């Protein structure tokens, strides 16, 4: 009888302990929110592809780890507007039980969501936005910047263009946080390399007619017209520059942020020769090719952008950290993400620094000529590999308050 009572007591204590562990997962479910542009100029490089990538990561993690976590993925369109994005995220956090937000292209939205996530003790794992300020002056203990940033782009594409003789620049700059940061960081690289900035013009986001801006760039006589924009803006500015005969007149375009869907939208005839700096390409190795095959099967035959790859890999690491921390508290999970090394089939082994910057190699690509492309989406050739420790801004140069001054 005593033995039976003791067994019952031990079993009860075990159940209580299990309940205690589960209680640290709010609502007994880990809820992931994918927030991005579902309908505008960044929809191809983020959009529903990021939702597909997040769901793949959840399935792959639960299958491989045998984790008992319950995970849900929700999504919304921020329309590239900080007020819309902020409103969605506040509702997600306050009433819908969302624990972490992923993707978030459009730097002005990302900066707002980062601040809200910090206030609420939640997590922002960003792949889509570019501003290096997310791990600089606006860094947060609740934010990880996974994929790329403006410092990386400037030191990849910008530096390569200057070294090849492009020593005078005029910028066409998307008029919001990302464009401003990209122009700032690239101009610094150009000047440090001995080049000159002849001028710049701010262009409203989602502009359809670039003619007046391109005329200003043309009249500057700069060797390089730096496109500090992205997505549909990049595609439209390159197409309209070709119509104006700008490249035929001897000036060159530098697309400072170009994604695979942009190259596809342009066609190799217009995109050939462009230098592109990315941290992922579907055809890099066996791991990226195998994953891309699965992604395309789940995403209507479309290949992944690097943003989609970033969402996949960051969701994997986030869930690993939730399990290790035994909580979905955003501040604690981000701390655990920094503590644990990263390892996935798309970016390989890496780390997350104290400022929230995820480190991995970057690649300088050149877009192939039509005659060099041997298969669908065979668009890039590797010009240089930039090691992880060189690809991103040194930790002590970002002015992140989380980083102790030496």
- Does 172 fall in a domain? yes
User: Nearest to residue 222, comparing CAs of 179, 252, 186, 189?
Assistant: 252
Share the mean pLDDT of the chain.
94
- Does 14 fall in a domain? no
Residues 159 and 246 in one domain: yes
Per-residue buried b or exposed e for 327-344, using 16+ beta carbons within 10 Å of the residue's own CB:
bbbbbbbbbbbbeeebeb
CATH number at residue 227: 3.40.50.2300
Domain containing 299 equals 28-148+285-361
Q: CA 111, 116, 120, 126 torsion: positive or negative?
A: negative
- Does 23 fall in a domain? no
pTM: 0.93
> Residue range 84-109: average pLDDT?
98
Residues 234 and 374 in one domain: yes
Q: Three-class SS of residue 369?
A: coil
Which tens digits make up the pLDDT trace of 11-33? 444 433 333 344 489 999 999 99
Q: What angle, rounded to 10 degrees, do the helices at 47-65 and 306-325 form?
A: 40
Residues 188 and 253 in one domain: yes
Which tens digits make up the pLDDT trace of 325-382? 999 999 999 999 999 999 999 999 999 999 999 999 999 999 999 999 999 999 999 9
Confidence at 404, pLDDT banded by 50, 70, 90: confident
Confidence at 406, pLDDT banded by 50, 70, 90: low
What is the predicted pLDDT for the residue at 8?
Answer: 41
Which tens digits make up the pLDDT trace of 116-166? 999 999 999 999 999 999 999 999 999 999 999 999 999 999 999 999 999
> Do 330 and 142 form a contact (C-beta atoms < 8 A)?
yes
Residues 260 and 201 in one domain: yes
Which tens digits make up the pLDDT trace of 296-335? 999 999 999 999 999 999 999 999 999 999 999 999 999 9
> Residue 4: pLDDT above 90?
no
> Residue range 214-243: average pLDDT?
96
> Residue range 97-109: average pLDDT?
98
- Does 332 fall in a domain? yes
Non-local CB neighbours of 11 within 8 Å, separated by 6+ positions = none
Residues 312 and 275 in one domain: no
- Does 292 fall in a domain? yes
What is the predicted pLDDT for the residue at 64?
Answer: 98
Number of domains composing the chain = 2
- Does 301 fall in a domain? yes
What is the Cα–Cα distance from 352 to 103, expressed in whole angstroms?
17
Residues 271 and 385 in one domain: yes
Which tens digits make up the pLDDT trace of 168-220? 999 999 999 999 999 999 999 999 999 999 999 999 999 999 999 999 999 99
Compute the half-sphere exposure of residue 269: CA atoms within 13 Å on the CB side of its CA. 2
Residues 158 and 264 in one domain: yes
- Does 21 fall in a domain? no
Residues 369 and 261 in one domain: yes
Residues 60 and 128 in one domain: yes
> Residue 7: pLDDT above 50?
no
- Does 401 fall in a domain? no
As a three-state string, the secondary structure of 27-83 is: HHCEEEEEEECCCCCCCCCCHHHHHHHHHHHHHHHHHHHCCCCCEEEEEEECCCCHH
> Do 110 and 124 form a contact (C-beta atoms < 8 A)?
yes
Residues 172 and 209 in one domain: yes
Which tens digits make up the pLDDT trace of 263-300? 999 999 999 999 899 999 999 999 999 999 999 999 99
Residues 271 and 307 in one domain: no
User: Could you identify the residue written with the tokens 């995403």?
Assistant: 299
Residues 174 and 84 in one domain: no
């Amino acid at each position: 009888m005593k033995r039976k009572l003791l067994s019952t007591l031990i079993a009860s204590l075990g159940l209580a302990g299990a309940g205690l562990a589960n209680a640290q997962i709010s609502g007994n479910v880990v809820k992931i929110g994918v927030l991005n542009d579902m309908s505008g100029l960044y929809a191809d490089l983020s959009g529903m592809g990021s939702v597909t990538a997040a769901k793949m990561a959840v399935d792959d993690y639960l299958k491989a780890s045998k984790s008992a976590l319950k995970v849900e993925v929700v999504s919304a369109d921020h329309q590239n507007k900080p007020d819309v994005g902020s409103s969605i995220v506040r509702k997600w956090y306050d009433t819908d039980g969302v624990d972490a937000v992923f993707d978030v292209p459009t730097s002005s939205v990302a900066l707002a969501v980062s601040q809200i996530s910090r206030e609420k003790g939640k997590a922002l794992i960003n792949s889509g936005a570019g501003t290096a300020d997310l791990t600089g002056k606006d860094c947060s203990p609740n934010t990880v910047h996974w994929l790329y940033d403006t410092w990386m782009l400037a030191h990849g594409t910008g530096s390569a263009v200057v070294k090849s003789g492009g020593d005078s620049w005029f910028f066409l700059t998307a008029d919001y946080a990302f464009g401003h940061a990209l122009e700032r960081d690239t101009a610094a690289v150009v000047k440090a390399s001995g080049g000159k900035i002849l001028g710049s013009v701010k262009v409203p986001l989602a502009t359809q007619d670039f003619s007046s801006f391109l005329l200003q760039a043309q009249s500057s006589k700069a060797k390089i017209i730096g496109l500090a924009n992205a997505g549909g803006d990049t595609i439209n500015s390159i197409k309209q520059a070709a119509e104006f005969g700008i490249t035929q007149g001897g000036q060159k375009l530098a697309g400072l942020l170009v994604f695979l869907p942009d190259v596809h939208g342009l066609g190799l005839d217009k995109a050939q020769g462009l230098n592109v700096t990315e941290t992922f390409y579907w055809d890099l190795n066996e791991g990226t090719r195998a994953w891309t095959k699965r992604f395309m099967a789940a995403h209507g035959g479309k290949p992944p952008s690097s943003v989609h790859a970033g969402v996949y890999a960051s969701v994997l690491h986030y869930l690993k950290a939730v399990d290790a921390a035994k909580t979905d508290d955003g501040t604690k999970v981000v701390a655990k993400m920094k503590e644990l090394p990263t390892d996935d089939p798309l970016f390989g082994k890496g780390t997350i620094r104290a400022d929230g910057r995820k480190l991995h190699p970057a690649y300088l690509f050149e877009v192939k000529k039509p005659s060099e492309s041997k298969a669908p989406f065979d668009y890039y050739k590797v010009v240089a590999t930039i090691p992880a420790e060189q690809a991103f801004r040194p930790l002590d140069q970002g002015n992140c308050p989380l980083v102790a001054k030496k």
